[in-house]
Amino acid sequence: MALKLIDKWIWDSWFVFDGEKYHAFYLSASRALSDPNRRHRHPIVGHAISTDLTNWQVVVDALIVSDSPAFDSYTTWTGSVVKGDDGLWWMYYTGTSREDGGDVQTVGAATSPDLMTWTKLGSDAMVAADARWYEKLGQSTWPDEAWRDPWVFKAKAGQLIGGENYNSLAGIAELASTQPLWHMLVTARSNVGLVTTRGVMGHAVSTDQRNWQVLPPLGKVTDDFGQLEVFQYEIVDGVPIVIFCCGWRELSPARQSSFGQRDATYSLVVGQDLTDIDFSRAGAFEERLVYAARLVNGPAGWVMIGFVNNEGPNGEFVGELSDPIAVTATFEKGLVPKH
């Protein structure tokens, strides 16, 4: 395996290249917990560096939970890292709070001058689900308020990411036409549709990386996924791709019937401005069923790295990052293996 720790399980990860080395940030938890299902409430954001995406040097952990009261006093979950306009590295990540029982997910941030030492930007969340478009805790039988796994990127000035989404809030389209906006894609759930298949791609925008305005979901609700986790948007060999993952228990009955009891990473070809999003067209990447996979533009081209899920000898959780899987993309099939 590309990254295996003798004392910790690893699951969701995110990557950034600093010009010389690749940095992997990942959720980890002590194997002393015995039951891997307990890892979700005992996570640490670990950190490792590599020159080839295969051989990793583990360095000091990046983040851990805050003291109460704070939006992340219970957990620090999945995020992404970008280099900001201020020259700092920004890590956006998911937090849950002991003050509300850990059932409400929100997004906050930390910054670093060198990707090694991180400073959190306060104890309050930056972005939360907006009840105008997104399901809030208690509005259905779903057990939590989903607003997590932020994937942040910067668009070019004049690039209207999401198209018609800008019509919902006055001034956003005009703003985007004159300056580049930061965009955040988020695991979220709609407040309409079947409770079991309300998974959507949440969307927020910012001019300064600190103040975010929540917009409607990108793409409509389809009767396919209860949740769409760990989004990423990339242009892979000329093809604009969104990837995400979903466990088999959150699939619609129709997808369960056709795909079976398998957790997978999915891809969807979209418009370059993140329009033409129809998650009913998404297909699973079946060459290797890694979960919460990330696309990384490595030394030899695009690869995918995810964590090895329930693939132990007896179906038990493994908790290791996979070796890089060489991939490319086609407009017809989305993400495909590169042989």
Average pLDDT of 329-333? 97
Does 80 map to a domain? yes
Q: Encode pLDDT of 1-11 as tens digits.
A: 589 999 999 99
Indicate whether 243 pLDDT > 80.
yes
In a domain, 229, yes or no: yes
In a domain, 1, yes or no: no
For residues 201 and 150, give the distance between their C-alpha atoms in angstroms, rounded to a whole number.
10
Which of the four pLDDT bands, split at 50, 70 and 90, describes residue 252? very high
**Is 169 a residue whose pLDDT tops 90?**
no
Spatial distance between the Cα atoms of 111 and 130, rounded to a whole number of angstroms: 25
Range of the domain at 305: 8-337
Q: How confident is the model at residue 275 (pLDDT cuts 50, 70, 90)?
A: confident
* 172 lies in some domain: yes
pLDDT at position 172 is 72
Neighbours of 235 (CB within 10 A): 12
Question: Which pLDDT score is estimated for 136?
Answer: 98
pLDDT the model gives residue 237: 97
pLDDT of residue 270: 96
> Tens digit of pLDDT for each residue in 87-137?
999 999 999 999 999 999 999 999 999 999 999 999 999 999 999 999 999
Q: Are 180 and 155 in contact (CB under 8 A)?
A: yes
CATH of residue 226: 2.115.10.20
Whether residue 207 lies inside any domain: the answer is yes
Is 315 part of any domain? yes
The answer to whether residue 3 is domain-embedded is no
Number of domains in the chain: 1
Phi, psi of 150 (to 5 degrees): -65, 130
Give the confidence band of 312 by pLDDT, cuts at 50, 70, 90: low
pLDDT tops 80 at residue 259: yes
pTM of the entire structure?
0.96
Residue burial 135-167, b: 16+ Cβ < 10 Å; e: rest: bbbeeeebebbbbbbbbbeebeeebbbbeebbe
Q: Give tens-digit pLDDT for 26-42.
A: 999 999 999 999 999 99
Q: Is residue 82 part of a domain?
A: yes
